[in-house]
Every structure is written in structure tokens, then in C-alpha cells.
Structure 1
């Protein structure tokens, strides 16, 4: 079966898997050292290989921004860092670039025009937060190619109008003392059931969907290429902020929302991140303030709902 845009759209629209079983059984090959070197040369910075997901990813934090939420300064790692990942198709013939870009309102149009000019697709534009100043939006970009260096250069040309571009970001101060999270991480790990990753003054939980096989343009979507639920914490154990995302099947959306609301968490956005994936995934962004353990309970409760069947059939329009 030849994998084309047309037959993907047709089969996904009918709810039929677009990929033959033999292709799904074939493991994805990791990028070669030469391909990784070409990406690093283009970006002028190093990322990291995620061997168990067969991809290479580079963080793109907006360290040029000073963000407040409800007037309180918030660290950039709390949720104002983008990323770009590169992964091979299952048949090994192409590479995918996928990215979540962090943009101010006046930067959106320029990056969108840059993506169009460089053969990339815009998959989504949306908010992740309420109450933040300045107002921040997130653009998901997607592209395919056969040459890692050329694909990286196309992506960088697309984001060139924005301070998001690595060349436009402030250089880190090598003498600065990095901030340390003010959290009882073992206690939170025990409650959530996963290990947090510290990043400056924040910690973050990232949880993939091991129960699902999601394919997009013959690329398996995994946690480090955006198919994940996450929770980021800033502040202290007594007064923390939580922000995050829940990756859901359509039938799970209205199971998760009441659980988050019961936990006192605000649902700030509900949308897609990808265009051609099968089955379709919906992403819910949430935010809350309170004791860290209480906020973590809400995140854990939402995670525990994923994979469950709804107790009643969803309403259908006649």
C-alpha cells in the first residue's frame, strides 16, 4: 500500500487503520550519528537521543520572556519551553520533524508564513494558559523529508522571524547558580506513581500512552514527540502552581473533565495537536494553584481514567 496524503485522509476519515500490520510490526530505526550531527550543526546546539523511542529532540525554551500568571513571576520551564523532535518513518524512507513552538501573539503570523514558505504544515495554534502576561500561544508544526540536515534547516528558516530561533535566544550565564525546586520530590513521586524531572525551580511529570499505538504519516507517535500527559509544578509544597496536558481519546474527554474540575483544576484549552494521526487524539490543558500534594492528586486521578471505557455511550446527533 503506497502511503499518500490522500489515502491517509480517506482511511482515517472512515475510522480504518491506514497502515498495514507488517509496517506496524517493524521497529523504527534510530537516527544515525551522521544525521544527528547534521541536526546539531544546523541548530548550533545539542539535544538528546531518546533511544527507546528512536528519536532525537531539542528543547526550545523562551528564555527571552518574563512571564507572570495573575501577577506572580513564573519560571520559563513551568510551561513556556517548546521543543522540536526528529523521527524516522516505520519504513525508513523518510524523517518527520514535529514541534511545539512558544510564540507571542504578534509572532504567530510570521512563523506561520515561514512554515508555509518552507514546506511545513501548521497542525494547531492555541493557548495553554489563562491569566499569563504577556499572552502566549503555541503553534504545532509538522514536516517530512529525506535529509536530516535539510529538514532541520527548513524548520529553522520557518521559525527565523521569532526570538524562538536558537540564534536569537539569550546565552546562559555560566557563572549563575541554577535554582533548585522547593518540593518534596519523593513524596510527590510516591503519590503520582512516576518520577519527576527537575528543571530549574520546577519539576515535571511526563507520562506516555503505552496502552495505544498512534500512527501519523507512518511515524509512531510516542511521548518525546508529543504524545504524552504531563504535569509541571512551580512554587512550594504549601503553595504550588500546576499546569499540564492530558492526552486523550475522544471517548475519554468527558470522563477527564469532571475529575479535573472536582480537584479544583481549571480546564484552559481543549484541542488537537496533530492532523493525520490514527486514532484521533485530543489534548486538554489545565491549571491550578494550591498545596502540591492536593494538585498532584488531581493529576493522578485524571491519569487513572485514561484507558477506561465510558459508562454510557456518547450522545450522537440525529
Structure 2
């Protein structure tokens, strides 16, 4: 059990995103240009000076271990744009949800439009169809970045205009499917309901991470998350933990001690300083038990000193 002092430390570590202070804000005109290029209204996170657009793959029908799971469970990508700290340029980062046959065409399209690929990997085991995630980044003026990104995805299902129109279904939402106050008490965070799922997103406000001259914040993909699908008694959990190198194996140990499966371990960015490592995990069981595993992983963040070099 954590001491009172430790609880205060963790409250500070995982507090709601605080103003990061260094990045100039995007102007109303720049935001309008981004949204016009992508053909979708996004979300401007003012305290982080980040414009973020969700890119769900509503065209997919996904199962895990033969059970249907909703797209918000972990099959939605995003693209975010933020100015560099000196205000002379902007940075784009994106996580894309792709079928196997879509990966290499998007690599070619991204590079043809002056964007770069920073990572390609899985987030899940047992899913059908098989899904891959590709991270794309670039630098330039905000409106130009959005236009180049839109050009790269124009012939894919990632483009909002190419997605099927969704109707409000009468299915139960995460609010009815889960005992949210109980889960919040375990995780010591508040999540968000997204259709039939409930998701926690936890930033790394203890770190000052930069890449390509921009601060990486929660809305730019520097976060740990846990998504719940199913029901309170029979739930799926999937998520990602954002770690420093010295935190990797303590987090792995915490997840395995709580019977959560480690699915992938990899980078998301290039040139980030300090270097961040990302771990994806999955589990099934009663939602409170799964939430305890996520909380145990979070408890390892910020706890470990500089990584020692192993001697052989």
C-alpha cells in the first residue's frame, strides 16, 4: 500500500494535463485550414497547443479470440499537429490503423508527400483481421502538413470522407456496461466513455520530452492508456504504457504479475529525447481485476532511477 507521501507524488505525476508553456498556439485560421484539408472537425487542446483529429476505422469488423470488439476499443488512429517551441515550424504525428495489404502503399504515399515513417507494429494478439499500426511524422507549416497528410491518405479508408457514415446505435454505452466509480477508484483516474467502451488516458507530466523541436504531450501521443470493452464481469482490456528505458522491465513484471499479456514493445517516435519506449498489453477477466493490472503498471512509472548498464 502506498504511503500518504507516495500518493501525493503519484497525484502530481498523473495529474490532468498542465499547461506546458513553451509551444506557441495554433491560430484560428491554422486550425480551420487543418480541418478543411482533412475534411473533419478535430479537437484543439488549448493547454497543450495541439490539434488532434481522430481517424477511426469504422469500416472494419474486428474480433479478438472470436469475440466481436468495438472499433473504439483500440482500432482508431489519429493525427496531431503542434508548433515547435521556437514557433518557426510545426510537427505532425500520426498513428494509423491498417490492414496488412494497406501498409506498404501508405509508406509510399507518405514518403511521396514529404512525410516519414517512424514505426510499424502490432498492438494486439488474436485479432481478425490482422491489424498493423504505422506512425507517420513530418515538419512544416500547419496547413501544409495537413494538406500533405490528406494527400497521403486520400485513397485509403483513413480519410474521413472514405469512412462509412455511422448511425447512433441503441447499444449500451460504457456507462451502463461498467461500474465506472469502482474502476476510477482502482485506477485513481477518470476515464471517458466512447460508445460501448471506457478508456483512461494518462499523460507523462513528470517528463519534458521533445522531438523535432516540439514538446511531446498527451495529445501528441505521449501517454499511457487502458481501454475496456465487454461488461464489468467479463471484460477485455487493451492498452499502452509510455516508459523510459529503465521502466520497461518493472512495468513488464507488474503486468505479468497481474496476468496481463505483453503484446508488443517498441518505439513510436524517432529522435525523441529522452527516448520513450511503448508497451502494448491485453487481458480478459472481471474489469476491476484488469484495472488493478493497469494501476500496477502505472505505479512503476517515475519510480526508477537512471538505467544501469548490465554487466556480462
TM over 0.5: yes
Asked if 1:160 is matched to 2:123, the reply is no
- Does the 8 Å CA contact 1:110/1:161 hold for their aligned counterparts? no
Q: Could you say if the C-alpha distance between residues 52 and 38 of structure 1 is closer, same or farther in structure 2, counting changes exceeding 3 Å?
A: same
Deviation at 1:314, TM superposition (A): 4.3
Matched residues, number: 291
Aligned partner of 1:88 among 83, 87, 97: 83
- For residues 194 and 30 of structure 1, what CA distance do their matches in structure 2 show? 27
Aligned partner of 1:294 among 267, 271, 289: 289
Asked if 1:303 is matched to 2:298, the reply is yes
Give the TM-score of the pair, scaled to structure 2: 0.90
Asked if 1:197 is matched to 2:204, the reply is no
- Does the 8 Å CA contact 1:259/1:301 hold for their aligned counterparts? yes
Q: Could you say if the C-alpha distance between residues 100 and 311 of structure 1 is closer, same or farther in structure 2, counting changes exceeding 3 Å?
A: closer
- For residues 298 and 26 of structure 1, what CA distance do their matches in structure 2 show? 33
- For residues 217 and 70 of structure 1, what CA distance do their matches in structure 2 show? 39
- For residues 286 and 191 of structure 1, what CA distance do their matches in structure 2 show? 18
Aligned partner of 2:165 among 171, 175, 178: 171
Aligned partner of 2:261 among 263, 266, 269: 266
- For residues 145 and 43 of structure 2, what CA distance do their matches in structure 1 show? 17
Q: Say which SS state the counterpart of residue 233 (structure 1) adopts.
A: strand
Give the TM-score of the pair, scaled to structure 1: 0.89
Asked if 1:232 is matched to 2:227, the reply is yes
Any idea what the Cα deviations from partners look like across 1:116-157, whole Å, max 9, x if unmatched?
1001010000000000000000000000102x2221110011
Q: Find runs of 4+ consecutive structure 1 residues off by over 6 angstroms.
A: none
Q: Give unpaired runs (5+ residues) of structure 1.
A: 1-24
- For residues 279 and 70 of structure 2, what CA distance do their matches in structure 1 show? 22
- Does the 8 Å CA contact 2:246/2:307 hold for their aligned counterparts? no
- For residues 26 and 69 of structure 1, what CA distance do their matches in structure 2 show? 41
Q: Give unpaired runs (5+ residues) of structure 2.
A: 1-19
Asked if 1:120 is matched to 2:95, the reply is no
Q: Could you say if the C-alpha distance between residues 176 and 288 of structure 1 is closer, same or farther in structure 2, counting changes exceeding 3 Å?
A: closer
- Does the 8 Å CA contact 1:110/1:162 hold for their aligned counterparts? no
